[in-house]
Structure 1
């Protein structure tokens, strides 16, 4: 696995589609991932520290993970198939047991940002 960090949410032109831009931690390569508008907004909110008056879906999932004494330890982008990225959300409980949950990259990133993973 190549460690990456979230640079931010951008709009890809000319399609006007939101992307999450990832960058190698120890390199100069970038990886754009096309996401939906709702997910892009959620990721941007998490990066900017925006807290809505009521929990949004990714906030709720993060609260559930925390209340179960579990932490998000990683997001793994696993593969690209027919132009679609796949990811796993890696959770670790208090006894150091890992659970791997298949997720859309945008959802996994939004949750990871909220849990400081």
Structure 2
């Protein structure tokens, strides 16, 4: 079984997913469940964002992502599958083949204008945390049908608070975007 675990970890590394469990794993403390509300595009900057909704907290967290990742997330949300596996499908397939179980995805931190996420994977009796871009982690979570959570410190610092019919911006927004997520198309 050790060879089995080493093989899946080697494959994940080959595909550009770095193992940084020691640094980021300690940050997982008070996660809040979110749902992917959709992918939006800022009409002025044309930047894409995935919108994470924390219903229990009345907050929306926009995470700016690339267009390829936005397309992948949109396809999963719409139930559209490509005839050949995309990278996120490949990661999901590898987890299945090697009996790894993705337990959840954690949006764990925000530093230097960058969000950080973890894939929390169970391999036999071990739980490993794999450092990933949130956009990739969210796409894999949607493919696998597992929960997505955001650390409370991230959501409180960067999430838009839903106050009745209005979104109140965070005190320290992650980017210089002036258009709130409600106006994205």
TM-score range, shorter chain: over 0.9
Quick one: distance in 1 between partners of 2:90 and 2:35? Answer: 23
Return the structure number with greater relative CO, CA threshold 8 A, min gap 6: 2
Shift of 1:13: 3.0
Aligned counterpart for 1:58 among listed residues 88, 95, 101: 88
Aligned counterpart for 2:109 among listed residues 65, 73, 79: 79
**Any unmatched runs of 5+ in structure 2?**
1-30, 147-185
Deviates further, 77-86 or 98-107: 77-86
Count of aligned positions:
116
Aligned counterpart for 1:109 among listed residues 138, 155, 158: 138
SS of equivalent residue, structure 1 residue 26: helix
Quick one: distance in 1 between partners of 2:109 and 2:39? Answer: 21
1:107/1:63 CA distance change after superposition, 3 Å: same
> TM-score normalised to the size of structure 2?
0.60
Quick one: distance in 1 between partners of 2:145 and 2:93? Answer: 12
**Any unmatched runs of 5+ in structure 1?**
none
Shift of 1:49: 1.2
Aligned counterpart for 2:65 among listed residues 35, 47, 51: 35
- Computed over aligned residues only, the root mean square deviation of the Cα atoms, in angstroms, reads 1.1
SS of equivalent residue, structure 1 residue 3: strand
Deviates further, 95-104 or 38-47: 95-104
The structure with the greater share of residues assigned to helix is 2
**Structure number with larger C-alpha Rg:** 2
Shift of 1:96: 4.0
Deviates further, 82-91 or 32-41: 82-91
> Equivalent residue for 1:98?
127
The structure with the greater share of residues assigned to strand is 1
> Equivalent residue for 2:38?
8
